[in-house]
């Protein structure tokens, strides 16, 4: 089976993680945590979702920043070594525990729809391919049952004005004809939708590269005449870097874009299209 068993960030809450080393997240992620807190004034819950960490970890580093007695303007200019010293963060030792690799429960759920596929078979594949220690079969089943129960729930989303801008590319392309040569090429359609008003911006690009994503987003912000609290894309590789075991990371250029505009970029949860339902609806109906 080609299914890969890599932790989706949204499923981390179902996994009972072992105790982690002192430096639970990378220093650049701690710096981003503090930026979202003090520059973007996001709640601990929002920051936790944006960075795929727990609210407890957010509270831990915010408390450390407040107790150090130095303003955020000063901390933001500090280098990594100084920030680590001020916050009391220690480096991870060689022998530190790295925890269990959680299964991709959404992929497990899809796999069970195939003929003759059982949880036992999927657990064996997970155990053989896990990047690290794997859960026992009984714990694997518990995690899947907890995940399956969430699929039966539905939630009406309520958006505050100026809170979220949903962005996505349409699945279909449109033809563009060169007036001189008659050559036909295909254009990608970028869509941005404000959550509260459904005010919509769209533009065409040649590709879905990082430059096209960020360029289109910049044009969307200029079009709406402001910056929301959150930008919600999907988990496209153009914006979101390769996810590690514990937290996905924004591409460096994406993170710099967010810092420049003073906005938080909160990717939709993997396999949770309802997180960006408005943008998805516009791309389907466009």
pLDDT at 115 (0 to 100): 66
Confidence of residue 165 (pLDDT cuts 50, 70, 90): very high
Q: Which domain holds residue 128?
A: 9-17+97-150
Angle among Cα 246, 65, 98 to the nearest 5 degrees reads: 20
Instruction: Return the structure tokens found at 216.
Output: 């289109």
Q: What is the pLDDT of residues 246-268, one digit of tens each?
A: 455 788 899 999 999 999 988 86
Contacts of 257 (CB under 8 A, 6+ apart): 214, 217, 218, 265
Q: What is the pLDDT of residues 200-232, one digit of tens each?
A: 999 999 999 999 999 999 999 999 999 999 999
Contacts of 53 (CB under 8 A, 6+ apart): 24, 25, 29, 33, 246, 247
Whether 13 and 139 share a structural domain: yes
Average pLDDT value for residue range 37-62: 85
Whether 134 and 13 share a structural domain: yes
Q: Mapping DSSP to helix (H, G, I), strand (E, B) and coil, where does residue 253 land?
A: helix
Whether 172 and 115 share a structural domain: no
The number of domains in the chain is 3
Whether 80 and 175 share a structural domain: no
N-term to C-term CA, the chain: 35
Percent of the chain residues past pLDDT 70, beyond the cut = 76
Lowest-pLDDT choice from 165-169, 187-191, 233-237: 233-237
Whether 57 and 113 share a structural domain: no
Dist CA 215 CA 200 (whole Å): 16
Which run of H or of E encompasses 119?
A: helix 119-129
**Do 4 and 128 touch, CB atoms closer than 8 A?**
no
Dist CA 164 CA 275 (whole Å): 11
pLDDT at 52 (0 to 100): 74
Confidence check: pLDDT of 85 > 80: yes
């Amino acid at each position: 089976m080609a299914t890969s068993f890599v932790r989706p960030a949204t499923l981390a809450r179902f996994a009972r993680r072992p105790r982690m080393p002192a430096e639970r997240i990378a220093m650049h992620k701690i710096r981003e945590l503090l930026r979202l807190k003090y520059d973007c004034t996001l709640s601990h819950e929002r920051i936790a979702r944006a960075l795929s960490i727990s609210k407890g970890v957010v509270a831990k580093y915010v408390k450390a920043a407040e107790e150090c007695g130095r303003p955020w303007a000063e901390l933001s200019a500090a280098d990594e070594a100084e920030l680590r010293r001020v916050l009391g963060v220690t480096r991870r030792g060689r022998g530190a525990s790295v925890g269990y690799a959680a299964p991709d429960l959404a992929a497990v759920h899809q796999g069970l729809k195939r003929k003759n596929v059982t949880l036992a078979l999927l657990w064996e594949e997970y155990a053989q391919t896990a990047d690290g220690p794997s859960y026992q079969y009984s714990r694997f089943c518990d995690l899947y049952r907890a995940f399956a129960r969430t699929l039966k729930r539905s939630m009406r989303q309520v958006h505050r004005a100026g809170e979220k801008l949903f962005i996505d590319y349409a699945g279909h392309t449109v033809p563009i004809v060169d007036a001189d040569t008659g050559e036909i090429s295909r254009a990608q359609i970028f869509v941005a939708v404000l959550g509260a008003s459904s005010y919509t911006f769209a533009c065409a690009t040649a590709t879905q590269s990082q430059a096209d994503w960020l360029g289109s987003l910049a044009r969307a912000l200029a079009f709406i005449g402001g910056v929301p609290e959150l930008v919600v894309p999907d988990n496209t590789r153009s914006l979101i870097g390769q996810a590690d075991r514990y937290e996905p990371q924004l591409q460096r250029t994406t993170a710099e874009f967010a810092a420049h505009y003073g906005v938080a970029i909160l990717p939709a949860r993997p396999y949770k299209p309802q997180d960006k339902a408005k943008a998805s609806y516009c791309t389907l109906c466009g």
